[in-house]
Structure 1
């Protein structure tokens, strides 16, 4: 017994230095990442054997240095205490541009060089310059295309979802989902109005907003959010908070959505009845709510279902897909989420999957629970979407006896 206790203590003491070193290393990531984002493309484009004339090399290096210094400064002024929109736009655009440039500098800098070497195409300076122009060309095309994708009104994605416990009277119930509108430094009031017009064409019974309305307070982004008051729903318009609300006075957003005619489902539910059958429509605060320190805000599924008949099917709104573990444990039938943006700018997709159980689309969890993860309606920060198109989603709920296919891609 004594030996075991001493071993545990020794193990704990041995692990502690490793943990502290890891924590120290993680603190350096915000400093190292921007350097890599700008230094790697600088080397690939200017110093990888191209032998550019000296004025070209110096001018190019100056551009990268300005980007490295200017990006964090602009983001600090834009998203810090100053909240200067012009600085946020500048910093976010530089962040997105550097991410795309970094990605394709790495991919083409390695694989295109290898392919050219194997093919015997070009040697030395010629091969290096081919890589340079390829990186610049691909980056330019993706940034222009990504900007257009981010700023357009999302296409509508339609799918049928069969819920085994859904009563026949509710078969064909239409649920429209928007999420992650992220009204922010770029004024998107006209875009917001057009999104709402598109939602109205869907003739939905229930319209849901799954959080992350904006970056900024309700007072500051009111003009962009106001078109949400024009959204029409046959039975209900419901909303849950996202993590970004808790960066910007969440209660203000809850109050504004209520003012605009949306029902905030703050760990609560409502009943949708039709044809003698009932569906529970529930919602929870985002999982970051409790750590925000805002009184009365937390993700509380038991509270959301309090008073609901456990035999009834449940449609749950929860901003982050990872809440599905709790939803599956409670036998929730369908959870609707956003948060991931589908990765927004490839290959950020792979990093999102480390934190979340799903990136986009319909997935199964546990014995009963379905999760639908939207790629989001707007965009966060960098005004680009690359290989991650935005969406407005129309889900048609189907009872088991419905001849319609249970799901569609």
Structure 2
């Protein structure tokens, strides 16, 4: 029922976006009627693609080429809507900038050409960005850390559809080249029925690091059978941190790595986060917490001994200007923040993508973190 409700609302929203694009952008262009008609047909085709994506997103049984054609329209419509809003504003300014009709017509035609070229190039650039993962190197000073450690973080991979076995195999190779001491996966790893994700997940068993790979669930794991996902991860020799911690490093010179369930567990009714339990007996050494959502910071007591929190969830906004909406819901979007005197927060922009294979203003990311003494 929840899936049906989400799909219906999602489709209604995108239908309204398409209506705005058609009325306020396409139909206002200085083009022949037949070309406007073709552009409107293209818009309807994209809306049908959104419908197809909603049908197949949970069960990616179609070839990746078709899945790509069904998922891209979400990003195309969103970026066309953003372009349409800017076009609307600029058109208004042109109409009120001069009394000279010929001058206004010249600026209007220039705007039409620029808007069409911009919409095309921005969509192409966004698709290119999603398939090129960047290594983000960060140095983070940790108080009382006696020895330096390297840590690789990936997050929000969203296995399913285009993020398949080949994608994960390539990702594993990139991570292994970094020769990290620790690898952490901060949630939203699986975004499809487990039977379709299993082949890709098995590639993660090839991850190499000095002290192992650690995983926490994100909100999307709750949608696809969280218990079975956790058990599958454990079978791959990946440690799942379930409101618990583990000591990492050499004796007397390491740190505690803690992890909690996602906040969505409160709504789900099971697998609820418990920060008190996760931090038990971590007073003697520096502590790093894995928490999927940056907003979890609100549930952590100000007196806690956490030195660093590693998060994901936001995708850095994934497609501008969606990052502005994300900021209304999450306190931190991407990168490193000093939350208070004792705690820093790092938010990974996401290693994969949700929905359209597109990113604009927020690259796909593997984070390579050097933990050094303060």
Deviations 1:232-251 (A, max 9, x none): 11012100001111111112
Q: Whole-Å Cα distance in 1 between the matches of residues 94 and 33 of structure 2?
A: 28
Q: 1:260 to 1:240 in 2, by over 3 A?
A: same
Of residues 294, 299, 313, the one that matches 1:321 is 294
Q: Note closer, same or farther for the CA distance 1:340–1:187 as it changes in structure 2 (3 Å cut).
A: closer
Q: Deviations over 1:29-63 (max 9, x none)?
A: 7565323321222224432262x333333333333
Say if 2:174 is the partner of 1:198: yes
Distance 1:38 1:84, change over 3 A: farther
24, 40, 50: which one pairs with 2:20?
Answer: 40
For the pair 1:301 / 2:275, whether they are aligned, the reply is yes
Query: SS state of the match for residue 277, structure 1?
Result: coil
CA distance 1:124–1:361, change in 2 (3 Å)? same
5+ residue gaps, structure 1, are 1-27, 401-409
Instruction: Report if aligned partners of 1:77, 1:84 keep a CA contact under 8 Å in 2.
Output: no
Distance 2:221 2:49 in 1: 24
TM-score relative to the length of structure 2: 0.89
- Is residue 321 of structure 2 the alignment partner of residue 347 of structure 1? yes
SS of match in other structure, 1:43: helix
Aligned with 1:215: secondary structure? coil
For residue 133 of structure 1, report the CA deviation from its aligned partner.
2.6
| Aligned with 1:290 (options 249, 266, 271) | 266
Alignment CA distance shift 1:181-1:122 (3 Å) = farther
Residue 145 (1) aligns with residue 145 (2): no
1:385 pairs, out of 354, 359, 366, with 359
Alignment of 1:9-408 (within 5 A): 30=10, 33-48=13-28, 50=30, 52-68=31-47, 70-79=48-57, 85=62, 89-111=68-90, 114=93, 118=97, 123=103, 126-152=106-132, 154-166=133-145, 168=146, 171-274=147-250, 276-294=252-270, 297-306=271-280, 308-327=281-300, 329=302, 330-400=304-374
Counterparts of 1:148 and 1:49, CA distance in 2: 28
Q: CA deviation at 1:280?
A: 0.9
Query: Unaligned regions of 5+ residues in structure 2, if any?
Result: 1-7
Look at both structures and tell me which one has the larger radius of gyration over its CA atoms: 1
The alignment's TM-score, normalised by the length of structure 1, stands at: 0.81
Structural RMSD (CA): 2.6
Further displaced range: 326-335 or 142-151: 326-335
Q: 1:196 to 1:76 in 2, by over 3 A?
A: closer
Q: Distance in 1 between matches of 2:152 and 2:91?
A: 44
SS in 2 for 1:74: helix
Aligned residues: 365
| Preserved contact between residue 77 and residue 88 of structure 1 (Cα < 8 Å) | no
Asked if the contact 1:328–1:369 (Cα under 8 Å) also holds between the matched residues in 2, the reply is no
User: Is the 1:328–1:368 Cα contact (8 Å) retained in structure 2?
Assistant: no
* Higher alpha-carbon deviation: 181-190 or 360-369: 181-190
| Distance (Å, rounded) in 2 between the aligned partners of 1:49 and 1:79 | 34
Return the offset for 1:143: 1.5
CA spacing shift, 1:175–1:357, aligned 2, 3 Å: same
